[in-house]
Amino acid sequence: MHSFRTLLADLATLARHTIVTAINPNCPLTVVTRPTPVQKAFDLPGLAA
């Protein structure tokens, strides 16, 4: 059970980072944080935007 504030705090932990290395600057890497169980719920059918 989440309050609105704790739900936002949980959802705020999901991030996507784009990394560019000096070795190969033309090939950026994308790293995504692991979703929490609450964030995984948005993968359920009918919940995605």
> Would residue 19 count as lying in a domain?
yes
- Which range of residues forms the domain containing residue 17? 4-43
Instruction: Report whether 11 contacts 25 (CB < 8 A).
Output: no
> Would residue 39 count as lying in a domain?
yes
- Radius of gyration, CA atoms only, the chain: 15
Q: For residue 38, with 0-12 CB atoms within 10 Å meaning exposed, 13-18 middle and 19 or more buried, which class applies?
A: middle
Q: Write down the pLDDT at residue 10.
A: 85
Q: Write down the pLDDT at residue 24.
A: 92
Task: Give the C-alpha separation, 25 to 12, whole Å.
Answer: 29
* Number of domains into which the chain is organized: 1
Q: Write down the pLDDT at residue 28.
A: 95
Q: What is the pLDDT of residues 8-38, one digit of tens each?
A: 888 888 889 999 999 999 999 999 888 888 8
Residue bearing tokens 């169980």:
37
